[in-house]
Structure 1
């Protein structure tokens, strides 16, 4: 770039950058985007030296028209239609709990179909975290009986779940 071109570009920037920026800010309300539009406008003026030779009013009108057209082009672009700026981060998504809720409902329903004795040992073992010795002591029955009820209760529960359309996982 020649020295006279550099000087002309500096003068162009000094004379119009702030005015263009305020104009574009009223249109886009985004500092970074306004700065990008101003830079692109001034670059286009520099790429068309015949524009720089115009009268000051005509040059100003050309610059503001280019800036406005750049904003309009951006509004019409796919990027503008599909991307939205946000002042805050989107909320954190959580896992879909539908499967878990459905499984809990099916297990609860199958559990209710068992005998009281089988249901009690399964609840204490699987939901209460008790071992066979603790269950036997709490229910005042032998440990072998607890093991037998767990075995047959789980077997009956598997059948009840299969009847409800749940296959073995």
Structure 2
């Protein structure tokens, strides 16, 4: 259990130094005791998507905190409850993905943009860079930069936390910058 015992978890809930510190300690105990197992389980259920598995783990920890008063630190109950929450969150994710396909813009709209002759090379580089992003990153970029959604709107549409939207946008923009910077050197 990575050094965290049932007694440690129970003690962390009975000590109340400060509301934020108590929460942080509780969540840290969950991560220490169950985090790797829960993340592997979520990743397996998600077909190997480690980023989404981390999101699921974070949401599970938040839900554990909000239900900490009924979990009572009983290891066998808590472990079972956490794995059930992970399974339910993954099921919700699969349902949401089936209802919200990530193909956000019609292909015809993109093709019309790519037909401008003086920008063909640059647009080709941008298009290739965007297509090299993960599907999740393309969805966030499409929502935020093409459809001009706010972070909150994109999070609601995709059914993910706003922090995940920000993170995906950050890494997507960074990847696009790198791809375009590398592309300039090849075509200059």
Q: Highest CA radius of gyration, 1 or 2?
A: 1
Which structure carries more relative contact order (alpha carbon 8 Å, separation 6+)?
2
Q: Which TM bucket (shorter chain)? A: 0.3 to 0.5
- Tell me the TM-score normalized by structure 2: 0.41
- Tell me the TM-score normalized by structure 1: 0.46
